[in-house]
Amino acid sequence: MPYSAIVVGAGSSIAQALIEQLIAAEDCHQILAISRQQTFQHSKISTINCTYDEASIEQTCAQLSVDYPVTKVFICQGILHQDELQPERKIESINAHNMLKVFTANTVTPSLWLKNLTPLLKSDQPCKVALFSARIGSISDNQIGGWYSYRASKAALNMMVQTFSVELARRAKNVKLLAFHPGTTDTPLSEPFQRSVPEGKLFSPEFVASQLLSLLEKLEVDGKASYMDWNHQPITW
């Protein structure tokens, strides 16, 4: 059955690997790739460049032209460090400016995309939506502390995913939401922190993309949000 896929934050290294695999998927006939700057050249792909303020997100979604039922959506945005902004190791490093920047990129922006994409997702086909979270956003699994803003922004994203899911179970029963942990993946986001990653635990974007696509195939549309990792294992919220 031909389908359309939407990739938001398509400049992410993992998103680009997903797009390569979607291009190769026979049933995927259209990929809407949304990014601030990244562009793509392929007959299956429509590139949409957009800033991530609320008005632009609304305007972009209102103008999206979808040719087939949307059955896969990937909302990939996230920042951990940027210029002078670094994850906080201690309480004294927390400051409002950086915290708001991280929450905007990791919680507010993905939520606004999901809000504005929702009208496009309702159909008679199952639609699986993966929002890129992180294991570090698990409140029950916080053993080592630190990285306050990133951790809290992903926990807040998880709560948004859970809450969207309760409402979508009534309003768009074909939609399944997934808060996804890719594992430590070799991308610009993890690059400064890769030295401490154990041997064999730094994944390629291609591996993670293929794990995510096979996870989506397995997930049932059950009216509940799932929080799962690259190895198809559930994470406690």
Ligand X SMILES: NC(=O)c1ccc[n+]([C@@H]2O[C@H](COP(=O)([O-])OP(=O)(O)OC[C@H]3O[C@@H](n4cnc5c(N)ncnc54)[C@H](OP(=O)(O)O)[C@@H]3O)[C@@H](O)[C@H]2O)c1
* Closest distance of CB 87 from ligand X, Å: 11
Euclidean distance between CA atoms 226 and 237, whole angstroms: 9
Residue with Cβ nearer ligand X (174 or 204):
204
Angle, alpha carbons 131-157-39 (nearest 5°)? 40
CB of 193 to ligand X, least distance (A): 8
Output 69 or 164, the one with its CB closest to ligand X: 164
Residue 30 or residue 107: which is nearer to ligand X going by CB?
107
Which one, 69 or 87, has the nearer CB to ligand X? 87
Nearest-approach distance from CB 184 to ligand X, in angstroms: 4
Distance CA 70, CA 46 (A): 14
The pairing of strands 3-8 and 70-75 is: parallel
- The distance of closest approach from Cβ of residue 29 to ligand X in the complex, given in angstroms and rounded to an integer, is 22
State the distance between the two ends of the chain, measured CA to CA, in whole angstroms: 34
Q: Which residue is nearest to ligand X (CB)?
A: 78
DSSP state of 197: S
What 3-state DSSP class applies to 181?
Answer: strand
Whose Cβ is closer to ligand X: residue 126's or residue 207's? 207
Smallest gap from Cβ 212 to ligand X, in A, equals: 10
Phi-psi region of 105 (alpha: psi -120 to 50; beta: other; left: phi over 0): alpha
Residue showing tokens 């041997």: 199
Nearer to ligand X, 2 or 39 (CB): 39
Q: Look up residue 111 and give its two tokens.
A: 């939520």
Other beta carbons within 10 Å of 113: 25
- Note the residues at the interface with ligand X (CB under 6 A): 9-15, 35-36, 38, 52, 76-79, 105, 109, 132, 134, 181-182, 184-185, 187-190
Closest CB 159 distance from ligand X, rounded Å: 16
